Amino acid sequence: MIDPGRAASRHRVAVCSHGDVRMWSVIIPAKRLAVAKTRLRPLTAGSSPSEAGHDRWVLAMLTDTVAATLASPSVRAVVVVTDEPSAAAAVRELGATTVPDEPDRGLNPALVHGARFAGSRAVAALSSDLPALRAGELTAALAAAEQAPRCFVADAAGTGTTLLTAVDTVLDPHFGHGSARAHRDGGARPLAGDWPGLTRDVDDPADLRAALALGVGPRTAALAGRLDRPTACA
pLDDT digits (tens, 9 = 90+) for 20-47: 456 999 999 999 887 777 787 777 665 5
pTM above 0.95, yes or no: no
Q: Within a domain: residue 5?
A: no
Weakest-pLDDT range from 9-18, 90-99, 165-174, 206-215: 9-18
pLDDT digits (tens, 9 = 90+) for 193-229: 999 999 999 999 899 999 999 999 999 999 887 765 4
Q: Within a domain: residue 70?
A: yes
Q: Within a domain: residue 40?
A: yes
Q: Within a domain: residue 37?
A: yes
Kindly give the residue spans of alpha helices, DSSP state H, lying in the chain: 41-44, 52-70, 85-94, 107-118, 135-144, 179-185, 196-199, 205-214, 218-224
Q: Within a domain: residue 196?
A: yes
Q: Within a domain: residue 137?
A: yes
Domain count, the chain: 1
Q: Within a domain: residue 11?
A: no
Q: Within a domain: residue 158?
A: yes
Residue 179 pLDDT > 80, yes or no? yes
**What distance lies between CA 203 and its chain's CA centroid?**
13
CATH number of the domain enclosing 135: 3.90.550.10
Identify the pLDDT of residue 144: 97
Residue 7 pLDDT > 80, yes or no? no
**Host domain of residue 127:** 21-227
Residue 17 pLDDT > 80, yes or no? no
